[in-house]
Amino acid sequence: MIDEKPLMILVAGPYRSGTNDDPALIQKNIDAMNETAFKIYQMGHLPVLGEWFALPLIETAGSKEMGDRIWNELFHPVAIRLISKCDVVLRIGGASSGADEMIKFGKEKGKQILYDIDELR
C-alpha cells in the first residue's frame, strides 16, 4: 500500500475507444474498470470512476444518445472535476484518448499517476 490512510483513486480506462459504440464492447470496458475498482477497494482504498458520476447526470440531463451535445458536455468534464478530489489516477486498459486526458489533468493537478494496480501494494 502506498500510504497508511485510504486513498481515493480514479480508475481511468477506455469507455468507447475501440468499440465502434458496440454496447457489448462498451460493457466489457466498464466491467474491466469496475473489476479494478473492486480490487482497489479490497486493498483498503476508495475507488471511483468518472462514469459512476457522469452517466446518471447525462441521463437526467436528457441525453438521447452517446456523443450528443449533452453527453459531450458532461462525460469527460465530470471526471475532470472528480480528479481534484482524488489522490491517485490509475490508468488501465488499452488506447483511450479520454483516459489519457484524465492522466494529463491528473498530472496538471499534481496527482500521483499509476499505470499498474500492483504499484499500490
Per-residue confidence (pLDDT) for residue 37, from 0 to 100 = 98
Output the pLDDT for position 14.
98
Q: Comparing C-alpha atoms, which of 17, 6, 85 is closest to residue 52? A: 85
Report residue 117: phi and psi, to 5°: -60, -30
Q: For 8-116, which CATH class? A: alpha beta
pLDDT at 4: 76
Alpha-helical runs (H) found in the chain? 23-42, 50-60, 69-83, 97-108
pLDDT tens for each residue of the chain, 121 residues long: 444 789 999 999 999 999 999 999 999 999 999 999 999 999 999 999 999 999 999 999 999 999 999 999 999 999 999 999 999 999 999 999 999 999 999 999 999 999 999 999 7
Q: Which residue in 108, 119, 61 sits closest to 83, CA to CA?
A: 108
Q: What is the pTM of this model?
A: 0.93
Domain ranges, ordered by start, for the chain: 8-116
